[in-house]
A = this chain, B = another copy of it.
Amino acid sequence: MKAALKLFTEMGFHGTSTAQISKEAGVATGTLFNYFPTKEDLINGLYFDVKGQLSRSMGREIQAQSTFQDKLRKMWYNLIEWGLDNQNDFLFVGQFCSSPYITNYTREEVMKEYVFLHDLVKEGIANGEIRDYSEELTIAMFYQASRTVVNFILDSEPQDKNKVIEDGFQIVWEGLAKK
C-alpha cells in the first residue's frame, strides 16, 4: 500500500502498473493480487486508510481546547501538520477524492468519520461564533483553505512556515467569524 501510494501520487492511477507497484514493494506480482483482487480494490483500500488517518489527526485534542476559536485553530494546525508530515497521503487524497475509481461505498464509509466536524461547525453557528453560512460551504472553505496552505508551503518552501500557517488561519478565521 505504501508503494502504491507513492507511485499513484507520482504517476496517477492508470500511469502506475501493477508490475511497478509490486517491484517497488519488493514482492512478486502474484503476491500483490493475493492481497488485492484488483487494482481498484487497492486504490479503495488506500483511500479508506488514508482518509481515516486524516480524520483521526484532524480531531486530535480538539475537546481539550477551551474556546471555539481555539478548537478551530487546533483543527487547522492538525490538518496542516498532517499534510506536511504525510505528503504522499496528502497528495493522494487531493488527487483521488473525486476520482471515478473510488467507489461510492468507500466514499460513504469515509464520510462517517467526519461527523464531529459537522457538529463543531453547527455548534459554532448556533453559539454565534461564526457566521450563518451553509454548514457544508463553511466546511468546504475551511478544509480547502488548509489544503491551499499546505500546497503553498510544499511548492514555495517559505523560510517561515509557521507564519504562513498562522496567516492562513487568520484569513479563514476573519472570513468565517462573527464580528
Contacts and interface: CB of A to CB of B under 8 A. Distances in A.
Interface of A: 10-15, 95, 98-100, 131, 133-134, 136-137, 140-141, 144-145, 147-149, 151-152, 155-156, 158, 164, 167-168, 170-176
Contacts of A145: 141, 144-145, 148
Contacts of A156: 136
A141 B136 contact: no
Contact of A144 (B131, B134, B148, B176): B148
B176 A171 contact: yes
B10 A137 contact: no
Given A10-B100, A15-B14, A175-B175, A141 B148 contact: yes
A134 B167 contact: yes
Contacts of A99: 12
Contacts of A173: 175
Contacts of A168: 137, 141
Nearest to A177: B174
B167 A137 contact: yes
Contacts of A15: 12-14
A141 B149 CA distance: 8
